[in-house]
Chain A
């Protein structure tokens, strides 16, 4: 492989990061792209140029890249093009749990479903080879439990790739309608050829054991089935599009009863049925959320199959919930505090700052998809139904990902909204990846840093202001002035994320217990360094600050009317 590109997103982020770690000699060109479509465009171009290329993204990233993806199936390339989609059943950290296996069927590209770390390695290599033989991009679909797993991996020798060479072939690479029609037919022909291949592929494995129980499955669920009903016969599908119809019929003939066990959509189930084989599946297993060995066992039980009974267990004691929260000193806090106090209608976006929708800030009214905040704010403003000023809030990485066209749109059409760009210098939510305004590349090399205020002016916003979010009064004033503007106004915050790329740790604060009137104003910031102490004041809990985690942002001190929050005495820097 020569080229790899992607945009961060859980659980796909580690793919490119691991590649960088394992390739210190820089034999592969690796980049964080501004969004998934750019990443796929880059990979497709590289593959057309004759270099093996990979694009890695989370499941929703493929929606962004779908325009290229659907037509890349027509063009194919010269060298292997692999798209890795890391799905997130159960939505551990995603806005939806779409099943991207359907994308393979939609675009009609081969689909590989690794079940563990070793297969992730092996299948990726096979995907390049398969794609080159059939001149088609290949989708490798992983899920959180495969992506965020570790296991023993034996690395294979990779044969040296051919030297890349771009050969002109406009009939293949220029999708004018006339040429695209030909390529669509070519795709259908390639599928025919592939259909024969999948019937014989070693990736699709029949394991015959007890003939009473036949299970068709794929991915991580294979291991759950093995764990729960080891005696069952299994058809494990590693290459599941095109669907191996004849193989399934043969397997069905060997077993008494057939069940499909799969996560999310009844994807394999529909194909088995289409093959004319009587089968059951989603009647016993949930169609939403993640499966687990326990859920598989309960489903088998409902189907009337033997399954281990639930194990004896300790009762769950009362515990404190622990939802994710913004870090101590997170620069995203004050804009939301101010917006809530202004009664603004806040169109939110995706990033750490989405947590401002939760208690205690509770200052976000909508969040749907990356970059949607600005367009949706324009819609809310045009609806005439918003009681307060309409404000879009968007992170720097998200703004560059998909916010630029929407800002240009609002400025062009003179829509009265305020856009707050929460510029913390990084893509924090996914672990602090660089982006075009960060000034570094994925390999840590210096890069030109995009000038956000200049960019916003260039996109047509006549009013742009940079504020220090650690200055509560200043942030309030800037926002008040911004919402009074007639067209699009932009407020950009300028404090870095306190966690990455460097940890920001300043003089910590402490609470003067005698002065604290336990009013709880500071608690409304949601700063995790502030909790209740053992002290009381007229029936309310006093508070304390954990000096070990306080970053010294000063914001709580700005909210404390009696001035009870003061710099920690005797602090002498950190060990």
Chain B
């Protein structure tokens, strides 16, 4: 081990979404700290991450480290490879400490579930509001930067470049650790991405990003109905269980056939007026009465 800032100690929390390489990025930082003569402990939770869940890796270094876990308010820096996960990790960040956050969004399907109101459950890219709360926010579109230098897969190296400017470790340790962990063929691209991240200027980059973000995509200012539609069923035309197409087709699972084989709307409050039942009924037994007209 080379001599280095062995008295330095720090808590780095890396967070993101399964498949984004958070654990690998964390291993690189751990390697950097080790090469600089520190004791290192790392703990990660990635149980269900393969299935698009969240991943977090706690990394602590110093002359001697006891617990591998970083507690709320204790992280000297949080690095988030995804916007929503950066916000989620905020309580871990020591007030006054910097947040490095990628502006890339990975929207979970659960954020698109309020179908009647159309309310989007993913937080807007409000970079300026975040900067007011945190102070030192280093927000960039790491994916765009990685693409520019040649490989979208090197996205995490951009963020590591940003992180490197916040930590006391020598340049050589970063280079050696990067080369040791990324697939051999992609080493040059990762090195370029790392350089690009390190060259970003703060807070200028964050403000440029805040300006570029513009009105939030998937904003909630929309044409949402908020009120359910109503169905008129002509019972005499309905074949009931012998068909059942509408019951299977309804995306909101509004429909059922009762014990007497009559079509009933079991969840009238959920009907979005999509008209699938009306369209697919072979006997024209359903009419959707919907007051909502597109106001385009």
Contact = CB atoms under 8 A, between A and B. Distances in A.
B192 to A, nearest CB: 17
B95 A314 contact: yes
A314 B99 CA distance: 12
Nearest to A518: B274
B50 interface: yes
Interface stretch (A134-142, A271-279, A527-535): A527-535
Q: Binding site of B, secondary structure by majority: helix, strand, loop or mixed? A: loop
Nearest to A523: B112
Interface string A214-230: 00000010011011000
Nearest to B215: A534
A429 B71 CA distance: 29
A375 interface: no
Contact of B47 (A93, A116, A292): A93
A152 interface: yes
A286 B41 CA distance: 25
A539 interface: yes
Contacts of A292: 69, 71
Contact of A517 (B219, B226, B274): B274
A135 B222 CA distance: 73
A327 B53 CA distance: 11
A205 B292 CA distance: 73
Contact of B87 (A319, A523, A527, A534): A319
A269 to B, nearest CB: 21
Interface in A312-347: 312-327, 341
B67 A226 contact: yes
A227 B67 contact: yes
A293 B43 CA distance: 14
A539 B112 CA distance: 14
B41 A540 contact: no
A321 B118 contact: no
B52 A145 contact: no
A219 B53 CA distance: 28
A220 B279 CA distance: 61
Contacts of A532: 112, 118, 120, 218
B248 interface: yes
Nearest to B151: A575
A402 to B, nearest CB: 21
Interface string B26-42: 01001000100001111
17 contacts: A145-B43, A149-B42, A149-B43, A150-B42, A152-B40, A311-B74, A314-B133, A319-B123, A323-B108, A324-B49, A359-B110, A532-B112, A538-B225, A540-B272, A541-B112, A541-B115, A561-B280
> Top 8 closest A-B pairs, CB basis?
A539-B225, A311-B73, A93-B47, A324-B51, A324-B48, A313-B73, A519-B274, A324-B53
Interface of B: 17-18, 27, 30, 34, 39-54, 65-69, 71-74, 84-85, 87-88, 90-95, 107-113, 115, 118, 120-123, 133-134, 217-219, 222-226, 247-249, 251-252, 272-276, 279-280, 290, 292-294, 296
